[in-house]
Amino acid sequence: MFESLSDRLGKIFDGLRGRGALNAADVDAAMREIRRALIEADVSLEVVRAFVEQVRERAVGAEVTRSVTPGQQVVKIVNDELVSVLGSDAVTIDLNAPAPVTLLMVGLQGSGKTTTTAKIAKRLKDRQKKKVLLASLDTRRPAAMEQLRVLGEQVGVDTLPIVTAENPVEIARRAEREGRLGGYDVLILDTAGRTHIDEELMAETVAIKEIAHPHEILLVVDALTGQDAINVARSFDGRLDVTGIVMTRVDGDGRGGAALSMRAATGKPIKLIGVGEKMDALEDFHPSRIADRILGMGDIVSLVEKAAEHVSAEDAAKMAKKLKKGAFDFEDLRSQLLQMKKMGGMGGLMGLLPGAGQLKKAMAGANVDEKVFDRQVAIINSMTKKERANPDLLNASRRKRIAAGAGVEVSEINKLAKQHRQMADMMKKVGKGGMGALGGMFGGKMGGMLGGMPDLSRMDPKQLEAMARQAGIDPEQLKGLPAADLPPAQKALPSDVNALLKSSGGPALPGLGGAPRFPGLPGLGKKK
């Protein structure tokens, strides 16, 4: 959603970084461009004015003149102000109340309330082991209650039995009683919406609030609504005192202005964002991480969290053992493809990697088909267990049989076999050389991060604590972890992917080398 804004800001900062010193005229020119970029991204005008004024005030002052690299310092200031506009700290759904804790979902029709209700229920059930009851109070929209019942079945959560003769207030009263008697931890009420705000809608929702006494009132807003989303939020907040905002369709092609405006205009935190149609496509809203994504710095923390969610420790340990032996068969390739798909595919992962914006654009320009992963998994599924474990068995007749089973041409089997062979060669290098070789595979950008990692076992404990705090980790959690000492063999490995592939007998890949384009930014910690 933030791609166009990220591109515009990236071009502005590229111009600033090239200068040894900045004067007031340079800052003014940059502020004009930033203002134009924010307005084009559909950010509310009042928010744009306040944001640009704050940045200018800090950029023209002593902070920049004392800085060694003024351009980078301006990027840091913009980052700090973006975090401030988006809400500084992440705020989660508050369940600190007597059971059943009632959540009231409100918003306009079509904003995704019913789907979001089911997503939140699944999240609470899976992550916090809560017993959840869903109740639809939407008596106007055809099949709204049935939709919530079906979604409840999909996510394995109970729904209130449908009684068609009742009005929304009566349903709320019955749901509250059922939640209490049934021993439920959380009760989520999905209210009706309208295509626009009217007095009847507000009066009905206020009546439900008085009956249900909700602990949280979550306003569901479509990120594609644009500036009108702010008016919607203010209207609902004025009558209901909303406690938080859930933004849907953040994965769409909206310009991101609603997210930047909503928190600043209403003072209410954005608690969750919907990033897809699947029931698990719901994420916590972290202002600092979103700001990093907008400024092209990636979101490594979210990437690690995604990996931890989809890759079990047992699977990771097995893979590490195989890598140590230099073994990598088709079964391993299949599990890697499935994990990548679960984590959002190549496009989703590229969006979280720092400095990978250009690579993502190149992939988009080359029309890389993400469905190729599905075809490759189908090919591997068509193999026998012996063929997966021993790729050398794949002669011409076996390849014909596999192609027929997967519904593809034999040429696709040949491509996959070649790809597997190259990956197996790389994995052998990684097995021998550790993190340095893995860094080399990413050519410069990630190489600087992985290959140049310090030896944690030889670092002073105070330095480790400082690093942990800067990354937002409690230093106490690091105690008792084994020290990771990297093998010296990594120093002898090639530093970029072309040299690595040549040394393994594979073809060189163009365009993956080069130094990191986005330099490390000083002082990106919390605002003082």
Under a CB-based contact definition with an 8 Å cutoff, are residues 352 and 300 in contact? yes
Residue 466: CB partners within 8 Å, gap ≥ 6? none
Is 444 one of the annotated binding-site residues?
no
Is 190 one of the annotated binding-site residues?
yes
Is 107 one of the annotated binding-site residues?
yes
Is 112 one of the annotated binding-site residues?
yes
Is 385 one of the annotated binding-site residues?
no
Q: Which amino acid is at 458?
A: R
Is 183 one of the annotated binding-site residues?
no
b/e sequence 395-431, b meaning 16+ C-beta within 10 Å: eeeebeebbeebebeeebbeebbeebeebbbbbbbbb
Is 251 one of the annotated binding-site residues?
yes
Is 192 one of the annotated binding-site residues?
yes
SS3 158: strand
b/e sequence 157-192, b meaning 16+ C-beta within 10 Å: bbbbeeeeeeebeebbeebbebbeeeebbbbbbbbb
Is 116 one of the annotated binding-site residues?
no
Is 111 one of the annotated binding-site residues?
yes
Of 201, 73, 226, nearest to 137 by C-alpha is 201
Is 334 one of the annotated binding-site residues?
no
Calpha distance 448→436 (Å, rounded): 9
**What is the DSSP pairing of strand 216-222 with strand 270-274?**
unpaired
Is 114 one of the annotated binding-site residues?
yes
Is 515 one of the annotated binding-site residues?
no
Calpha distance 29→1 (Å, rounded): 26
Is 177 one of the annotated binding-site residues?
no
Reading the block at residue 51, the tokens are 């944001």
Calpha distance 423→433 (Å, rounded): 15
Is 399 one of the annotated binding-site residues?
no
Known binding residues are 107-114, 190-194, 248-251
Binding residues for GTP: 107-114, 190-194, 248-251
